Amino acid sequence: MRKRSAVAGGCLWGLLVVLAAPGAFAQDSQEPEAPRVIPPLHTFYRVGVAARVNPSGLFTNLTFQVRYRLYESESPALKDNFVSVGPVVFASPALLRGGIGVEFQPLSVLQLSASYEGIYWFGNFNYLQSFPSPNADASDRRLAELGGAGGTSYASSGTVLTLAALLQLKVGPIVVRSNPRFFSFNLKLRDGDRVFYEPVTDVVIPNGGWATSNDADLLYLAGRLTVGLRYSTTGSFFRPQDYPAGETDTGLNPTIHRVGPFLAYTFYDKPDRLFNAPTLVLISQWFLRHRYRTGAEVSQAMPWIALAFQFKGIP
């Protein structure tokens, strides 16, 4: 627990350092320059840093792309279009992922993406933990017991394939969006183990199988401030081969459901900037359904909370 608290505290300190950086959000004191003309073929990047509690975590992701604008349009529903490809990196104190990602956005309201990454678990912070059955206990308490001194956490490696879509619709100041994602992990697990606990999604995942998550938002745009509601679901698709002989799915791993407020503040948004759209995001959700976090181990009154800082730009 002390290690996890230190991780969350380190993230918050990092966010404060970024926000305090000289000129990070300074407004131009001189006359505004003409917007830079962005050619059809250009580079693009985005960065995000997030701290989370219940469960605790610290995550950083980086995407760098070569983008090609498919066509010119002034219509809000069509003008944000592109196809892109480039490296993606996802890191936390417990694991490192990296590989190649592709995004296809034929119109402003729809984006399709895929990535294929190598992944390495360092064997610290009680991870990686794997089990012979999805019915095994993978609670925070049990993971801490298994990952203690002389425990069973271990370093490992493998790959992960991610398929995702982003659907978004804006009517006046109201935005509705949905971001479904599908994950398939192939890891080198301990002999006899078929599933593992994945801390980013907070679910037990079948090795070689699939897990899914979705974030659905109903938002109101009030200038630089965005407020609204987020409803999230996460779950795994277990197969007969994921259970040892004599065991079946007993419903111990239900689909996770969370709901709660979404709050974001964007300091400015000028698409031609190298450092653009610096945004603070705060999300607080309560579990409606979870194997351990609705009273079995953690009180349902304890929310899932995430604080993030993100930005993007065109070099």
The burial class, CB within 10 Å (0-12 / 13-18 / 19+), for 171 is exposed
**Residue range 238-255: average pLDDT?**
93
What is the pTM assigned to this prediction?
0.88
pLDDT, one tens digit per residue, over 112-158 is 999 999 999 999 999 999 999 999 999 999 999 999 777 899 999 99
User: What is the CATH superfamily name and number for domain 2-20+41-313?
Assistant: monomeric porin ompg (2.40.160.40)
Distance of CA 15 to the CA centre of its chain: 17
CA geometry: angle at 199 spanning 194 and 200, to 5°? Answer: 120
Residue with structure tokens 């994945």? Answer: 198
CA geometry: angle at 111 spanning 105 and 112, to 5°? Answer: 100
pLDDT, one tens digit per residue, over 84-120 is 999 999 999 999 999 999 999 999 999 999 999 999 9
